[in-house]
Structure 1
Amino acid sequence: MRLKDCHNFRDFRRMAQQRLPGPIFNYIDGAADDEVTYRRNTEAFEAVDLVPNILRGVGEVDMSVTVLGQKLAMPVYCSPTALQRLFHHQGERAVAAAAHKYGTMFGVSSLGTVSLEEARKIAPGPQVYQFYFHKDRGLNREMMARAKAAGVDAMLLTVDSITGGNRERDKRTGFSIPFRLNLAGLTQFAMRPAWGLNYLTHEKFSLPQLDSHVDMGGGTMSISKYFTEMLDPNLTWADVEQMVGEWGGQFCLKGVMSVADARKAADIGCTGIVLSNHGGRQLDGSRTAFEQLGEVVDAVGDRLDVMMDGGVQRGTHVLKALSLGAKAVGLGRYYLFPLAAAGQAGVERALNNMRIEIERAMKLMGASRIDELSRDNLKFR
């Protein structure tokens, strides 16, 4: 399969599956327990119909939005994700460059494989730093100071990952960082020699945000062990409120789902929240972000920026979320499969596909600006 034949999410997923060893593909593609929430994230969009308006004079479409104090040329952004250089040797460099080209926001993860300073140089535009709260409070302060020094615009604290989700696909292959695979996993790597050659002929894998604090060389640090041993399950609202004060700028909580928690986030000074169930990778059986969106926007939409992610595969999905009041919509697997398939060229093609789909859908909906979308455009079945 070739990049020019990729027209949608499923095409990119298929191309990535052809390129990646099974354990790595399943790390991206997999989710927790029975993966019910993962499937329902996309299905939730299908339970709502768009109701278009006609004859509205939509020759020109402005799809720009302002979120977390940053202007984006399109209402989607690349959510920060871990381990990107495992999927393609360009990793976060490719995503930063593609996001910058399309005028949108991206982010580097605490578990990123390129330093946030390097990513900042590649993409001086809108950027967030995705942060996990560690038991080591000194590490937390150091990482925040480092992000501020690098000129990162907004802090994004992930709050739904105080322990790792039960990702059974990873258990079956022994997927961990560094690789400590079982026989089933090793066999699948042997079937993708081109990936192995690529991996071995580029710079050594590392986690620059954590290198001075996590020993990855001994081979004992699996992803689930990182979540279980290094992250602090005792994280409280008081801890977050202290972080908000220390950061002193745009501060967003990712992983909020309930109205009560959304209100609390606004009360302690957060400027944004991302409704998210972590792509179905944490608590299986969780409600979808899209289903929660309307009531959360009603509760706090006038106090902070409400965003959402999870299951977004089409421009029409984005329009449905925007019509419910989301300020912007996060993409995860939507750009990770293209990254794995073709590096920067893949991410650019995916973002361009999304841009074209949103523009076309806005014209067909009779909306020339994002703020012309409303719940009048939607009918729930």
Structure 2
Amino acid sequence: MMSRRHYGGRNLARAVSFADLRRMAQRRLPRFVFEYLEGGAEQEVTLRRNRAVFDDIQLIPRTLVPLDRIDLSTTLLGSPVPLPVAAAPTGFSGLLWRHGDVALARACARMGVPFIQSTVSNARIEDVAAVPGLRHWFQLYVFRSEDFLERLLARAEAAGCEALVLTVDSSIFGNREWDKRNYRSGTDPTLANKIEVLRHPRWLASVPAKGVPSFGNLLEFLPENRRKMVHAANWARDAIDTGLDWDRVGWLRKRWTRPLLIKGLLCADDVAMALAQGADGVVLSNHGGRQLDGAVSPMSVLPAIAEAFAGRLTILVDSGFRRGTDVLKALALGADGVLLGRTLLYGLAAGGEAGAGRAFDILFEETRRAAALSGCRTRSEIVADRLVVPARGDPAY
């Protein structure tokens, strides 16, 4: 019987899919770090659904279409991109690779796509802004302190961030049970995990040996004795504004004069509220299955929201994207673009900036190939007529 296995060595050129990069990342990272990257909330129903939904959307290819030139370039927020994708905001990237946020930003700059820096990234806004040629967006978690928000927004403006991405689905932290099981209490790993770390010398040499990174954007607000990552993470959870509402969004809209996107919406009524508050776009997202277990997949609500709001809002989508065909399906259902989270982090964890670049290369190649095999030569030809989509109410949809 033939045995199949994904590549798990160190040669990035041999990675032909995100599954290979995932396996490479899994071998390099300690178990508890990989669990943080990989896991979801509670029983991980939403995490699995985010992938299953793509399996039930079928492509209808057109043939005998000249395919000598495939050009999927378009614009996001008015500026050109070679493919309508961007790096989703992710925290703790510095645990995956030393200076991981800057490495990801450099890979994005090379590909010409936006990088959305997280409030809880390990790098400072200014460090990421220094990456040459980068389209720099900033993701905001809303903390109770208005002074904190004012200073953070001022820094983002001064750094030239072209858009603000307000995350609204994380005022309450998701119940990530599998992640919790790796710790004795709080953020102290179990003895078994501490011993297991010794099996990952490459990670040890590149991250902990040089000092576990903290949250660069929070340091100026933290007491001297609470600046280590463990203490900073606890401070951030305690300081988050659990009373975030549409009035606060209106305040932010008045304060931030550049494009504003609201991330974490799944309900059409909330999208309508975002439009009413003056948002320029939305990100349909269930936070990669890490918040509310049992939540609907963004792909399931995308068609109706795109039909209702196309042309009035930029509509982005994330959660579960692992293939170029996934991107193609989202664009056909009306998304203006796709945000990539774990797909890029697998590459980052496997090989730093070069690994993230390899992830982009795989995605670009897969998406262009899928478009060509579907008979789509340009972004405008990727339309819903090229799909068979499950009826509403189907368990997988």
Global fold match (TM > 0.5): yes
3-state SS in 2 of match to 1:114: coil
Change (3 A) 1:214 1:38: farther
Counterpart in 1 of 2:97? 88
Displacement after TM superposition at 1:57 (Å): 2.3
Q: Report the equivalent of 2:121.
A: 112
- C-alpha distance in 1 between matches for 2:184 and 2:165: 27
Report the equivalent of 2:261: 252
**Which residue is 1:31 aligned to?**
40
Which residue in the other structure is 2:353 paired with? 344
How far did residue 378 of structure 1 move? 0.6
Match of 2:328 among 319, 329, 353: 319
1:286-325 matches, within 5 Å, as 286-325=295-334
- Does structure 1 residue 221 correspond to structure 2 residue 215? no
Deviations 1:260-291, CA, capped at 9 Å, x for gaps: 00111111110010000000000000000111
Larger mean CA deviation between 274-283 and 8-17 belongs to 8-17
Distance 1:194 1:368 in 2: 43
Cα deviation, 1:355-377, whole Å, max 9, x if unaligned, reads 11111111111111111111101
- The SS at the match of 1:367 is coil
Runs of 5+ consecutive residues of structure 1 not aligned to the other structure: none
Identity rate of aligned residues, in percent? Answer: 35
Match of 2:199 in 1: 191
AA in 2 matched with 1:34? Q
What stretches of structure 1 move > 6 A for 4+ residues in a row?
Answer: none
8 Å Cα contact 2:99/2:123 also seen in 1: no
Alignment correspondent of 1:209: 217
Q: Given residue 75 of structure 1, which amino acid in structure 2 is its aligned partner?
A: P
How far residue 66 of structure 1 moved from its aligned partner, in angstroms, is: 1.3
Select the residue among 53, 73, 77 that pairs with 1:68: 77
Q: How has the CA–CA distance of structure 1 residues 378 and 175 changed in structure 2, closer, same or farther, with 3 Å as cutoff? A: farther
**Closer/same/farther in 2, CA of residues 62 and 346 from structure 1, 3 Å limit:** same
CA deviation after TM superposition for structure 1 residue 56, in Å: 2.7
Give me the TM-score of the superposition, normalised by structure 2.
0.91
Alpha-carbon separation, structure 1, partners of 2:219 and 2:253 = 25
Pair 1:159-2:168 in alignment: yes
Q: Alpha-carbon deviation of 1:219?
A: 7.0
Give ranges in structure 2 of 5+ residues lacking alignment.
Answer: 1-8, 391-397
Alignment of 1:139-150 (within 5 A): 139-150=148-159
Shift of 1:206: 2.1
**1:376 aligned to 2:389?**
no
Provide the C-alpha distance between the structure 2 equivalents of 1:326 and 1:176, rounded to a whole number of angstroms: 41
Is 1:133 aligned to residue 111 of structure 2? no
Per the alignment, residue 395 of structure 2 pairs with none
The alpha-carbon deviation at position 310 of structure 1 amounts to: 0.6
Q: Is the 8 A contact 1:176 1:221 kept in 2?
A: no
The one-letter code of the counterpart of 1:247 is: W
Distance 1:231 1:339, change over 3 A: same
2:319, 2:116 → 1: CA distance? 16
Matches of 1:58 and 1:175, distance apart in 2:
57
Contact 1:250-1:270 within 8 A present in 2 as well: yes
Q: Which whole-Å CA distance do the structure 1 matches of 2:196 and 2:236 have between them?
A: 26
CA RMSD of aligned residues (A): 1.8
Residue 170 of structure 1 aligns with which residue?
179
Look up the SS of the partner of 2:58 in the other structure: strand
* Count of residues in correspondence between the two structures: 379
